[in-house]
Amino acid sequence: MMYPYQIKSIEQYQEAYQKSIENPEAFWEAIASHFTWHKKWDSVLSYNFTEPKINWFQGGKLNITENCIDRHLATRGEETAIIWEPNNPDEHTRVITYNRLHKRVCMVAQMLRNLGVKKGDRVCIYMGMVPELTYAILGCARIGAIHSVIFGGFSAQSIADRLEDAQAEFIITCDGAERGNKNIPLKSVIDEALIANKLVKKVVVYTRTRTPVSMLKGRDVWWEDEMEQAEHQVEKNGVVSFPAEPMDAEDPLFILYTSGSTGKPKGVVHSIAGYMLWANYTFLNVFQYQVGQIHFCTADIGWITGHSYIVYGPLSAGGTSLMFEGIPTWPDAGRFWEIVDKHQVNILYTAPTAIRSLMAYGLSYLVDKDLSSLKVLGSVGEPINEEAWHWFSQHIGKGKCPIVDTWWQTETGGIMISNLAGITPQKPAHATLPLPGVLPVLLDENGFEIVGNKVSGNLCIKLAWPGMIRTTYGDHERCKSNYFSTYPNLYFTGDGCLRDENGNYRITGRVDDVLNVSGHRIGTAEVENAINSHSGVIESAVVGYPHDMKGQGIYAYVIFEESNHDHQLTKQDILQTVTRIIGAIAKPDKIQFVNGLPKTRSGKIMRRILRKIAEGEYNSIGDTSTLLDPTVVDDIKKTAL
Ligand code: WT7
């Protein structure tokens, strides 16, 4: 390759960027040659954004676990792959070498095979943040099963929907999970999710909390028992082996559910080779990771950030990934900083919402912390406000660590727009420049591209990149209509965006009916459906509003059947209903009972008006003359929260 894999100067960035856009095939072919393949590809890229059909490295055969584990064994077998920090700081840290990771992943692969899991089968994983979660993910990948991790905060109903959508026959879970001083009974949530399920054949239960669980004969098995049996099968005379399944480059690697503007969450499908390249390339370049460094991504593996920057990015690079089971504020708000000092963390990748919340606890949690091991800081998940950016830079980075503001999505597989730590310029609250291979364009409402600088519009991507979404599981049409139909021949992100005088991008937030609450993506329609399932609710409308801590808060307008109900009690009931149907993360922050909603004559709710009221912007509500009944607006304003 004419330019290095890891970009080391602005000039190299510019050169790599230009080459990647002019000749993506040559660019990514050179990148792909760094990996282990069973068979080389026949063609690098063919794609169209109309069907859409995306094909990277067609004909190539590989297994991602050989790239994440086996290829490091000769040189780095005894180096640390994963450092695990438990929820309870008094409990022991676990250190997992690449050799140990290899053995565990081989054992999981064997266990899954023993249980009847075949290539292409979907395995749902509902576990806390324990190393076994990583073994489970990689064990699936080793035999070519498709993993679908479900965040531990989702309800039984959400899990049931996802199991059904994925047509999953296997589940891996824990008895429970510890987060802060809470104990989440994961297995009993799974039991509830399975009440009406007819497909699931086996549930593997890993013991973490010793919470009592009920084990159904013939269906439920203990991880520990199955793994012991598998160990005897994969280890012969001290040598561990389990042949990795040779997979097609475009075979699906995983499904991850995420919210859209309509209906139920959709299963975003990523395929093996492209995703692997993207996770690896973006990890090495954005964070400027050097082998031996400790990378701490604070996300949960239940989200894409954890998939790409706890598991696949760091491990594909032979790196050391720190996995934290707990939460930032327990036992106190100094926990992150304590972990940084304890494990000498070099890279800290977290979310603006965490930064804002820790900022609010004040500086006292920092006085006895050193933090001098830190070299790079990262932010992800939502726009970072300048105040949080400066606090992060000054108090955590001590003014010497670059901050990467990384914009991307579940659908993009990995980071798309970001500065490269210490290499390309940073600008507070700006994701700045696209990575090689990413061609962003801004569009106006009429579908015209907005050229030049100091402009704003809807953010789209013009070229196929290796890590992009391939389909939405079981419903390709939905993938097409969600991402590829708004603007012909472009991938539409759903985000609004500014481009400054120097070509730096600043993401301003979603332009569709998707909310970003504490960095969690939630569809307004989903929350409305949950609220509407409460027996007394006639109709509801949900919008976002600016929230100091969470970025966005959830504001629900609810029409209730009787007007003289106990408002406080009904609110609690509604919150309970939402928690039950989606999970606690989707609970509205504000519920306002109203007598009517602003609707057009065709019956469409005018959310623009509801958003203005939720924001407290009563004077810029705009034209209400097209409403069926404009007086409802005044009524709503009178009792607004
Ligand atoms: C949405 C994607 C990216 C992994 C975690 C979230 C918002 C993400 C940024 C950023 C401004 C950001 C966008 C995007 N977002 N990163 N650096 N600056 N906004 O993944 O749940 O798929 O959500 O998060 O609105 O569309 P996700």
Give the model confidence (pLDDT) of 362-402 as tens digits. 999 999 999 999 999 999 999 999 999 999 999 999 999 99
Structure tokens that stand for 430 in this block: 């700006």
Cα separation of 493 and 347, whole Å? 28
Q: Which residue has the tokens 């050229």?
A: 451
| Nearest atom within ligand 1 for CA of residue 299 | 5
Interval 186-214: pLDDT, tens: 999 999 999 999 999 999 999 999 999 99
pTM exceeds 0.95 for this model: yes
Cα 476 to chain centroid, rounded:
21
Instruction: Please work out whether the CB of residue 31 comes within 6 Å of at least one atom of ligand 1.
Output: no
Residue among 451, 429, 454 at smallest CA distance from 442: 451
Instruction: Please work out whether the CB of residue 516 comes within 6 Å of at least one atom of ligand 1.
Output: yes
Instruction: Please work out whether the CB of residue 406 comes within 6 Å of at least one atom of ligand 1.
Output: yes
Strand 537-547 and strand 551-560: the pairing is: antiparallel
Which residues of the chain, if any, have pLDDT below 50? 1
In the prediction, which pLDDT does 593 show? 96
In the prediction, which pLDDT does 3 show? 63
Instruction: Please work out whether the CB of residue 512 comes within 6 Å of at least one atom of ligand 1.
Output: no
Instruction: Please work out whether the CB of residue 268 comes within 6 Å of at least one atom of ligand 1.
Output: no
In the prediction, which pLDDT does 329 show? 97
Contacts of 565-573 spanning 24+ positions with Cβ under 8 A: 565/536, 567/593, 570/536, 573/534, 573/536
Ligand 1 centroid – CA 507 distance (Å): 9
Average pLDDT in the chain: 96
In the prediction, which pLDDT does 2 show? 56
Distances in whole angstroms, Cα of residue 482 to Cα of each of 52, 235, 265, 488: 11, 47, 12, 12
Q: Give nearest CA residue, ligand 1 atom 18.
A: 383
Q: Cβ neighbours of residue 634 under 8 Å, at least 6 residues apart?
A: none
Contact between residue 513 and residue 530 where contact means Cβ atoms under 8 Å apart: no
Instruction: Please work out whether the CB of residue 307 comes within 6 Å of at least one atom of ligand 1.
Output: no
Q: What is the dihedral of CA 247, 250, 253, 258, to 10 degrees?
A: -170
In the prediction, which pLDDT does 619 show? 86
Contact between residue 429 and residue 386 where contact means Cβ atoms under 8 Å apart: yes
Cα separation of 183 and 325, whole Å? 12
Instruction: Please work out whether the CB of residue 410 comes within 6 Å of at least one atom of ligand 1.
Output: yes
